[in-house]
A = this chain, B = another copy of it.
Amino acid sequence: MTIKGKSTSLDIAHLAGVSQPTVSRALRGHPSVNCETRERILGIARELNYKVDKNASNLRRQQSATLALLLFEDPTSDQSHINPFFLPMLGSITRACARHGQDLLISFQQLSDDWHADYGDSHKADGLILLGYGDYLAYQGKLRTLVEQGTQFVRWGAVLPGQPGISIGCDNAGGGALVGAHLVDLGHRRIAFLGDASSRYPEFLDRWLGCESALHTRGLPMERALQVDAESAEESGHAAATELLRRGLPFDAVFAASDLIAIGAMRAFAEHGLRMPDDIAIAGFDDIPAARMTTPALTTVVQDTLTAGELLVDTLMKLVIGEPAESLRMPTSLVVRESTARR
């Protein structure tokens, strides 16, 4: 049996000998529909391979049953690279959306784009998930606009007091402290930091602060002279490590604010004939797949990206249906590999 064109609820109504609204009710499992009638209708629907037209349904219900995932890219990164850190999160987000009966739109945005306009206002999506690193100062204004417009959203990133909207992120300071404690316990004393530890990159800043507090507890300082700005990209890490070496100050360990930075830095150190971990210990943050491939394998901080993805969706759905929701910081843990070792 071949059906030309899509069938509608009216087609089914005719075949079942009922009215079209009854078909609609039966299909959505409305309890008022007679059991026998319902079965007949469902049978016909299955036979015709009928699916409710989403556009009509959404228009009528004034919703979209869709969430949008906006990945914004660092302007610095070349156009092909998403931070691999986000990949498992993408997987768990799509699965969580499916579980909630939501479709997921995905889009890459520049920090400069006009997000809300494109999604909220046009009824394309009921809520937004924001992923990606970028200058937080530029970002914050956008978030404020979203809040003002009443757009529902959650973002992955640093959880800061008084920030607009809801954020879910990892305990960056806690992760930084784990690294600091680990390095000091191994006997390292002069720890360099590669990453932009300013309020423009609050996640990096928290990692720095966490590390600093761990050192402080142990009677050691984090020296600003050993900190070099870097964004989360390999090239940026390579440049930062090169700059660090150029400064000529002594250091015995490096805490890279992300694995991508660490990988670039390792390449720079290797180019300068430095052995790791013998000459320099190095640790990263994120535990991207490449972290276990490097030589030596990279000690790093793990975030539970799978749970994070679910949490992002669950939280957004609460907002969408009007329930209260809260920002949240997730615990981190340290994976010790070969790039750090006792002095």
- Residues of A at the B interface (CB closer than 8 Å) are 6, 49-56, 58-59, 64, 66, 69, 79-82, 84, 87-88, 90-92, 94-95, 98, 103-108, 117-118, 121-124, 149, 263, 289-290, 293-295, 305-306
Contacts and interface: CB of A to CB of B under 8 A. Distances in A.
B293 A123 contact: no
B123 A95 contact: no
Contacts of A90: 82
Nearest to A50: B121
Task: Kindly report how many copies of this chain are found in the complex they form together.
Answer: 2
B124 A54 contact: yes
Contacts of A294: 293
Contacts of A124: 54, 103
Contact of A289 (B91, B104, B121, B290): B290
Contact of A122 (B51, B98, B104, B105): B51
Contact of A91 (B55, B79, B149): B79
A98 B87 contact: no
A303 to B, nearest CB: 13
A123 B54 contact: yes
A46 B49 CA distance: 42
Given A49-B117, A81-B88, A263-B293, A54 B122 contact: yes
10 contacts: A51-B121, A66-B105, A79-B306, A80-B88, A80-B305, A84-B289, A104-B106, A106-B106, A293-B294, A295-B295
